Amino acid sequence: MSFVKKKKVYDPLNKQKRKKIIKIIGTIFVLILLTGGSFFAYLYANGSKVFQNNFATSSLLKAFSGNDTGFEEERVNILVMGRGGDSHPGGSLTDSMIVVSIRPKEKKTALLSIPRDLIVPIKEHDEDKINSVFADGYNDYIKSSCKNKVTNACRDSAFGAGANFTRETTENILGINIKYYIVVDFDGFTKLVDALGGVDINVEKNLYDPLFPDKSMKGYEPFNIKAGNHHMDGELALKYARSRETTSDFDRSARQQKIIQGLREKALQSGILTNPKKIMDIVNIVGDHIRTNMSPSDLRTLADLLKDFDNSKAISKVLSNGATGLLIDDTSTGTYYLRPRDGDFTNVKDLAQNIFNEQEAVAPQSKIEVLNGTNSSGLATKLSNELKKQGFSSVSIGNADTKYLYSVIYDYSDGKYQSDLALIKKEINSSVVKKEKPNSNVDFSIVIGADYE
């Protein structure tokens, strides 16, 4: 039996088909490389401006892949700062400052607004308003570390120095670790709101501000908005957040918190918080106007967390003055300042450190006596009953030896019961005098003065 070996038949058409297929595949592969490479190059060029010191390809890939490990801390604190920006007079002043605190495992958030007029100790500087700290850090870096002061690299590094200086100063007065910062200028805020398609805000009361500054900051552009539900674009939201002349800085802080919560809801509704590409698209839109020391993967983790949080349960606090506030007005130098009511930041720190504890508070343990230092009877009993409602179980009453014009809280606890003291000050926000413990077995002695009523 013989075998005949078949010859291969040359088919030029098949060869052409193969070449065509290879060419098509090669073209597609090149296009993928080019488009993907261009996209990441675009993100890198723009993102490296936004993510100061924390922008790397590995972090970017983690953000897109979702392979980041998430926040490991029990509590994460982020300082959000709003400033005018380079094109705005006084643009280096951080006139909006909010500490956003997150408990990742418990899915809880808290916002604490810090008024711009709060006077604080500034390292290697005199006391000054907290909104000037950023400029101090920025200028210090320019003077000490920049050979060529007009380069972008110098200004970018100085920006980071100013932001970190503000973050560290805020850490000192609040007594908490603040790991991250986010800085947004007016133009960035406007673009952010517009990029999200606007924000829905319920305006609780009519707001009219005839002294709202115009764009040149040389004249006025009256601002008026009626109570009710409003869909705001970026420009309107910025005016609503900035207006302060006919209300107060504390009202403005509360409005700013409302806008932050509204933006979170809008981002959730639009699906941005679940889409890392959309997040980076937003970053690129506002790239010239926002800076943060978070990495892209940090931002992705933050977005993943916030989409599952219940906005209605977020805790909102504003450091304020008034009868129940922790701050007082000070115009002794001819300039308006806000200072801690008790002369130091002990109670401010207590609020910041325990901001999540309102719903988890441990029953007060301190012993209190309430003494009536007025001619009006029944005041000690009245205050005692209010303190018992706050959970104090050991409260005695009596009359003071002399009459008092102003109420006072004598603190014998040596700092042991700061949470209790904060509760006491909710009922009678008087000056606190720290004293050595007397022979009596009380931790706080409250003397009611004529100013109580």
pLDDT digits (tens, 9 = 90+) for 143-174: 988 877 778 788 888 899 999 999 999 999 99
The pLDDT assigned to 19 comes to 55
pLDDT for the residue 247: 57
CA–CA separation, 253 vs 248, rounded Å?
9
- What is the band of 55 on the pLDDT scale with cuts at 50, 70, 90? low
Share of the chain above pLDDT 70, in %: 77
Retrieve residue 269's tokens.
């509704």
Determine the pLDDT at residue 30.
Answer: 42
Helices (H), 307-371: 346-353
Contact between 79 and 171 under an 8 Å Cβ cutoff? The reply is no
Q: Superfamily for 76-353?
A: LCP protein (3.40.630.190)
The Cα 383–Cα 372 span in angstroms is 10
pLDDT of residue 118: 94
C-alpha distance from residue 228 to each of 202, 206, 231, 233, 409 (Å) = 5, 8, 10, 16, 42
Radius of gyration of the chain (CA): 29
Distance in angstroms (rounded) separating the CA atoms of residues 265 and 283: 18
Q: Determine the pLDDT at residue 54.
A: 57
| 50 against 45, higher pLDDT | 50
If 0-12 CB within 10 Å is exposed, 13-18 middle and 19+ buried, where does residue 301 land?
A: buried
pLDDT at 37: 41
Q: Which two tokens stand for residue 344?
A: 């130091």
* Average pLDDT for 260-265: 83
Answer yes or no: is pLDDT of 368 > 90: yes
DSSP string spanning 209-245? ETT-B-TTSSSB--EEE-SEEEEE-HHHHHHHHH--T
Mean pLDDT of the region 6-32: 50
User: With 50 as the cut, is the pLDDT of residue 328 above it?
Assistant: yes
pLDDT of residue 236: 92
Overall pTM > 0.85: no
Between residues 222 and 168, the one the model is more confident about = 168
Residue 4 has pLDDT above 90, yes or no: no
* Beta strand extents in 195-335 (DSSP E only): 199-203, 207-209, 223-225, 228-232, 290-292, 315-318, 327-330
The token pair that represents 268 in the structure block = 């959730």
- Please provide the average confidence, as pLDDT, over all residues in the chain: 79
Question: Highest mean pLDDT: which of 26-30, 88-92, 194-198?
Answer: 194-198
CATH numeric code, 361-452: 3.30.70.2390
Q: Which of 110-114, 250-254, 334-338 has the lowest mean pLDDT?
A: 250-254
List strands edge to edge, sheet with 94-103. 290-292, 180-185, 76-83, 94-103, 108-113, 315-318
pLDDT band, very low/low/confident/very high, at 268 (cuts 50, 70, 90) = confident
pLDDT score, position 35: 39
Tokens 């992705």 sit at which residue?
300
Comparing 416 with 140, the larger pLDDT belongs to 140
As a whole number, mean pLDDT of residues 242-267 equals 77
- pLDDT of 437 > 80? The answer is no
Confidence at residue 121, expressed as pLDDT on a 0 to 100 scale: 94
pLDDT over threshold 50, residue 27: no
Mean predicted confidence (pLDDT) in 276-282: 69
